[in-house]
A and B are shown apart, each in its own frame.
Chain A
Amino acid sequence: MITEAIINVFAAVVAFLVGLLPSWTAPDWLGAAVSTMASAIGDITMLSGWVPVKAVGTAVAFMLACSGIGMAVKVARMVLSLSTGGGGSAG
């Protein structure tokens, strides 16, 4: 019960803060660009006999994961630096 209440309150606060962000509808060209890119990737796989696409995919996935983790760490450090009253900065 207590935990559920905390979860509900936290979710409501986060939803409220997120709702303050401006809304935006993606233009059609963005969807078309994504589709085109997906088609291009599909065509590239047909050249997998010449290009090590599996290695490319694995390397890209690893780099994206590291970027995501690094960004999350940086954001966490920035948030924690605020809790110390500005004594440290991770900006």
Chain B
Amino acid sequence: MQSLVLAGREGSPSFVRRSARLGVLGAVFLGVFSGQGTAYASGIDVYPGSGKWVANTVADAFAELPTGMSVTGVVEGTALVGGAAVAAAPVATAASVAGAVLGTAGALNLLWHIGSGLCIDCSAPVIAAGGVNPGGSCSANSGVTCSGNVFTFGNGKTLTVTMSGGVKVGSTSGTIYVQGDINGSTVAWSRVYAPYGENPPPSCGSGTFTSGSKLCTFQVAGHAVTTAGVQFQNVDGYVLGYYYFLGSGATAPADPAPAPAAPTGAAVQINSTATCTPTAGGAATTVTSSSATFHAGDASYPPVPSGVCPSGSVRTGFSSVVHALTDTTVPDTIIVKPMTLPTTAPTAHPEWAPCYAGGAAYPCRLVLTHTASDGSTRPYDSAVDYPIFDPATDPTGMKDPGPDWSCKWGPLAVATTECRPVYTDVPVGRPNPNSQDNCDGSGFSFNPVSWVVVPLKCLFIPRQSVVQAASATVTTAWNGTALGTVSTAVSGAVAPVVALKDNTGPTSCDGPAFVIPQLPTMPHSVTLHPFSTCNSLTAYVLGIYLPIASAAIYLGGFFAGTRTLLKGFDVEQGAA
């Protein structure tokens, strides 16, 4: 009969503490275990502080129990990934606990009762109930009798129980609980034997363990006994241990995705209202549109909805506000001023007069048109009544879309860099005369100041696109050369070293882990942390050594760097 084995392994005390407390009831449970060799419960192992424990490994452990041995237990989960805890639930043989996935700080309190908790009838060492296998022996010293489920022994006498084969708990410390009721006393009696381990500890209470069997002797002490002696009855024993999955064998599931951060700030929405005027004349209408709901604490905001005017009409007015959805005390925040077209064209663009109110072409549609290589044109006004070439462009300026683009406001030709409505200081539906790029003559006006300022600006201030194109030309040529290839490789090699300056230090005091795979003579794989700094003495020494070493490295780097720098000026340090 296989013994129930709880494999364990010593780990660092900085990790979750493990204690396997093996409760064995005197003669009852000890007789359960007979010497039939050892068996290790697969899947239950000790994990050094970080890993995942899959619930079905409980079934693996219980599956190794011999036929007829019943095990009932309680599995409790703590600190599970995702925050939910597994409620205590009974675990039967070959059963599993669904959903018990643990994270790095997870633990399981595996509590099981072995057998039915009844005493062995020493006259016939058969477990009365519970289905445990018979076995073992029960002997009593002189003066101890056993009848039924009651041990009776006189004061000062000892009950010696021998368990052959025994229960192995690996190399972990263990605690044997022996408890029961003492006849005539309302106080539960118990003895705790610790430590208990696979390699027998030097003592077990008042007794010793011997190889191949577990021997415990215990005495009833401190209790008055009658002349009839003490009856040891209704005994019970239990195994209580903390188990962590070592990871051998089963593949741990991935952590579930973390719950999205709760939105911060009030829920708001951008509401836009567009005034649409039919090009054929008639009353204007309004079109409203809203953005998706977002919060002030969001990393990005949705774009301002534009509100599309129906076909045959153009937008002649627009406004947009940020509206709080739930907090009624917060007024709407205006982000786009309500605007209507002025009646007269600006002095900078008198040629735009036909498109203003009362003008012959009013209302005018702003259309950006692309001319393909084959000469075909494609106006970008299908979605909105005035197209926006690059919505991300700074509204105070606009990137030059290139010579294959053209813009017209109604019948009027305007600069493509102005082909975008500006919401702030110019009426909607009109090109932006404040564009930085009016160098094609569209910015000309009768203002004498602009006759000087605009030409000088256009002559000496390069456009960003031109600078970027020149840089790209040089970079492309350089990357194709041998020097460029070598510099790229050197950069790739140096970058990780330079990135060390951003190192924030170790996330765990364990250091790197080295796993020794399971060998034929080993019950499981072993994970070592030879560079662990969790030890208090090591941490103390490192606390002194590291700052000194860092200071020395900083000073050495400073002097070496400055020496190299000075060499560029032909200045040698220490030169005569």
Q: Is B481 an interface residue (CB 8 A)?
A: yes
Within B387-410, which residues are at the interface with A (CB < 8 Å)? none
Within A47-63, which residues are at the interface with B (CB < 8 Å)? 47-63
Which A residues are in CB contact (< 8 Å) with B546?
Answer: 52
Interface string of B250-279 (1 = CB under 8 A from A): 000000000000000000000000000000
Contact among B466, B531, B550, B565 for A52, CB-based, below 8 A: B550
Q: Is A83 an interface residue (CB 8 A)?
A: no
Q: Is A31 an interface residue (CB 8 A)?
A: yes
Whole-angstrom CA separation of A33 from B490 in the bound complex: 11
Known: A14-B474, A54-B500, A57-B500. A70 touches B556 (CB 8 A): no
Q: Is A72 an interface residue (CB 8 A)?
A: yes
Q: Is B482 an interface residue (CB 8 A)?
A: yes
Known: A59-B554, A62-B558, A71-B568. A18 touches B511 (CB 8 A): no
Whole-angstrom CA separation of A87 from B178 in the bound complex: 100
Contact among B462, B489, B542, B550 for A55, CB-based, below 8 A: B550
Q: Is B327 an interface residue (CB 8 A)?
A: no
The secondary structure that dominates the B interface is: helix
B477, A18: Cβ atoms closer than 8 Å:
yes
Which B residues are in CB contact (< 8 Å) with A26?
Answer: 485-486, 488-489
B470, A48: Cβ atoms closer than 8 Å:
no
Contact among A49, A61, A63, A64 for B531, CB-based, below 8 A: A49
Contact among B461, B474, B501, B503 for A3, CB-based, below 8 A: B461
Of the listed stretches B67-75, B290-298, B491-499, chain A binds B491-499
Known: A4-B463, A22-B482, A34-B492. A53 touches B564 (CB 8 A): no
Known: A24-B485, A55-B549. A41 touches B500 (CB 8 A): yes
Known: A47-B512, A63-B561. A42 touches B556 (CB 8 A): no
Whole-angstrom CA separation of A21 from B478 in the bound complex: 9
Known: A1-B459, A18-B477, A62-B557. A70 touches B466 (CB 8 A): no
Whole-angstrom CA separation of A77 from B570 in the bound complex: 10
B568, A12: Cβ atoms closer than 8 Å:
no
Contact among B473, B482, B503 for A57, CB-based, below 8 A: B503
Whole-angstrom CA separation of A90 from B471 in the bound complex: 28
Which A residues are in CB contact (< 8 Å) with B498?
Answer: 57, 60-61, 64
Within B507-548, which residues are at the interface with A (CB < 8 Å)? 509, 511-512, 531, 533, 542, 546
Which B residues are in CB contact (< 8 Å) with A55?
Answer: 549-550, 553-554, 557
User: Which chain A residue has the least Cβ–Cβ distance from B467?
Assistant: A7
Which B residues are in CB contact (< 8 Å) with A90?
Answer: 570
Whole-angstrom CA separation of A10 from B467 in the bound complex: 11
Within A1-56, which residues are at the interface with B (CB < 8 Å)? 1-4, 7-8, 10-12, 14-16, 18-19, 21-26, 30-31, 33-34, 37-38, 41-56
Q: Is B460 an interface residue (CB 8 A)?
A: yes
Whole-angstrom CA separation of A47 from B562 in the bound complex: 29
Whole-angstrom CA separation of A56 from B549 in the bound complex: 10
Q: Is A73 an interface residue (CB 8 A)?
A: yes
**What is the CB-to-nearest-CB distance from A70 to chain B, in angstroms, rounded to a whole number?**
3
**What is the CB-to-nearest-CB distance from B558 to chain A, in angstroms, rounded to a whole number?**
7
Contact among A12, A47, A73 for B569, CB-based, below 8 A: A73
Q: Is B334 an interface residue (CB 8 A)?
A: no
Which A residues are in CB contact (< 8 Å) with B486?
Answer: 24, 26
Within B106-164, which residues are at the interface with A (CB < 8 Å)? none
**22 CB < 8 A contacts A-B:** A2-B460, A3-B461, A4-B463, A15-B473, A15-B476, A18-B474, A26-B485, A37-B493, A43-B512, A46-B512, A46-B531, A49-B506, A54-B505, A55-B553, A56-B497, A58-B500, A59-B554, A59-B561, A60-B557, A63-B564, A72-B568, A90-B570
Ranked 9 nearest A-B pairs via Cβ: A59-B557, A57-B500, A70-B568, A24-B482, A57-B501, A11-B470, A66-B561, A73-B568, A55-B550
Question: Can you add 16 more A-B contacts, CB < 8 Å, to A1-B459, A64-B494?
Answer: A1-B458, A24-B486, A33-B493, A47-B511, A51-B549, A54-B503, A55-B553, A55-B557, A57-B497, A57-B498, A59-B560, A60-B494, A62-B557, A66-B562, A66-B565, A67-B564
A binding-site residues for B, Cβ under 8 Å: 1-4, 7-8, 10-12, 14-16, 18-19, 21-26, 30-31, 33-34, 37-38, 41-67, 69-74, 77, 90
